[in-house]
């Protein structure tokens, strides 16, 4: 499948590499291609594009940009290039303006996922993977043999189902369907707890499991 991954950081790189490994045709998108030249030399199956080229290429597009810049990045990607496509939003609206620990740029009665959906009404936004570090997103079996949960939220049930299939191809077996996109409020707010757990354990290689 043609995949577009918006972002140049560790998350975009991890997702792009994994998608290419799984046989997808991947373009990774940034405002500054030079940032990715070194990485691409060892990931030659992934091509580098502008944000607009990357969104145009993808049948499915990932938002792996800094949450505070995501709306700008998506607007540079272009509404027309994102229309009718699934946008897998893995971002967190973390606000580091006052340093560590971060706060959120949006919370409570709204979420970044919902802001994106309102700004791009023709796009099928699916929130997932934002509650784990990049390596766990793409290689869930490396933590507790995969015995932990990832969450998924979307208004579009069919889009959600396609992303569930993709998550399974990454190795995810426990995929917790939270419901519509408003449920991303909780998944995004969890990032505040995640950074504290990271601080306490000094590793991002962990996740949570829902038990009852
Ligand atoms: N790191 C993780 O393990 C992890 C885990 C869960 C969720 N996430 C989420 O995944 C996203 C990416 O995280 P990351 O750590 O890989 O990288 P990051 O440093 O949070 O984001 C870097 C990317 O954001 C883009 N960006 C920043 N400000 C922008 C703006 N104003 N307009 C357009 N683009 C802008 C940069 O674009 P250029 O390349 O053009 O400079 C770059 O591609 C974040 O939302 C993060 O919260 C990350």
pLDDT along the chain (212 residues), means of 10: 98 98 98 97 98 98 98 98 99 95 96 98 99 98 98 98 98 98 98 97 98 97
How far does the centroid of ligand 1 lie from the alpha carbon of residue 172, in Å? 23
| Residue 156 Cα distances to 16, 92, 101, 179, angstroms | 24, 20, 34, 10
Predicted local distance difference test score (pLDDT) of residue 21: 98
Predicted local distance difference test score (pLDDT) of residue 130: 99
How far does the centroid of ligand 1 lie from the alpha carbon of residue 142, in Å? 23
| Residue 98 Cα distances to 69, 105, 148, angstroms | 17, 12, 32
- Tell the residue nearest (CA) to atom 10 of ligand 1: 91
Statement: the pTM of the whole predicted model exceeds 0.75: yes
How far does the centroid of ligand 1 lie from the alpha carbon of residue 129, in Å? 14
Predicted local distance difference test score (pLDDT) of residue 137: 99
- Tell the residue nearest (CA) to atom 25 of ligand 1: 65
- Give the SS3 label for residue 29: strand
Ligand 1 atom at shortest distance from the alpha carbon of 135? 3
How far, in Å, CA of 206 to CA of 132, rounded? 8
Q: Which of 36, 38, 60 is nearest to 48 (CA)?
A: 36
First-residue to last-residue Cα distance in the chain? 37
Predicted local distance difference test score (pLDDT) of residue 96: 93
- Tell the residue nearest (CA) to atom 7 of ligand 1: 130
Q: Is 150 exposed, middle or buried (0-12, 13-18, 19+ CB in 10 A)?
A: buried
Instruction: Name residues whose C-beta falls within 8 Å of residue 200's C-beta, 6 or more positions apart in sequence.
Output: none
How far does the centroid of ligand 1 lie from the alpha carbon of residue 44, in Å? 21
| Largest Cα–Cα separation, the chain | 48
How far does the centroid of ligand 1 lie from the alpha carbon of residue 212, in Å? 34
- Around ligand 1, the residues with Cβ closer than 6 Å are 7-12, 30-32, 35, 64-67, 69, 72-73, 90-92, 94, 130, 133-134
Q: Which of 157, 70, 59, 64 is nearest to 118 (CA)?
A: 70
Tokens of 101: 């620990």
Predicted local distance difference test score (pLDDT) of residue 76: 98
């Amino acid at each position: 499948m043609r995949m577009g991954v918006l972002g140049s950081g560790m998350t975009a790189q991890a997702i792009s590499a994994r998608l290419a490994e799984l046989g997808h045709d991947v373009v990774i998108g940034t405002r500054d291609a030079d940032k990715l030249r070194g990485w691409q030399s060892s990931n030659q199956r992934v091509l580098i594009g502008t944000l607009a080229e990357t969104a145009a290429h993808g049948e499915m597009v990932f938002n792996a940009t800094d949450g505070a810049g995501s709306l700008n990045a998506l607007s540079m990607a272009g509404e027309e290039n994102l229309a009718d496509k699934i946008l897998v939003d893995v971002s967190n609206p973390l606000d580091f303006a006052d340093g560590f620990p971060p706060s959120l740029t949006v919370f409570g009665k709204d979420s970044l996922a919902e802001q994106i959906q309102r700004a791009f009404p023709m796009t099928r936004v699916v929130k997932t993977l934002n509650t784990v570090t990049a390596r766990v997103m793409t290689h869930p079996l490396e933590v507790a043999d995969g015995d932990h949960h990832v969450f998924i939220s979307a208004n579009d049930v069919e889009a959600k189902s396609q992303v569930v299939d993709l998550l399974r191809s990454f190795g995810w077996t426990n995929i917790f369907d939270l419901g519509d996109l408003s449920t991303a409020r909780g998944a995004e707010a969890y990032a505040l707890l995640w950074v504290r757990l990271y601080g306490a354990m000094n590793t991002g290689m962990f996740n949570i499991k829902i038990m009852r």
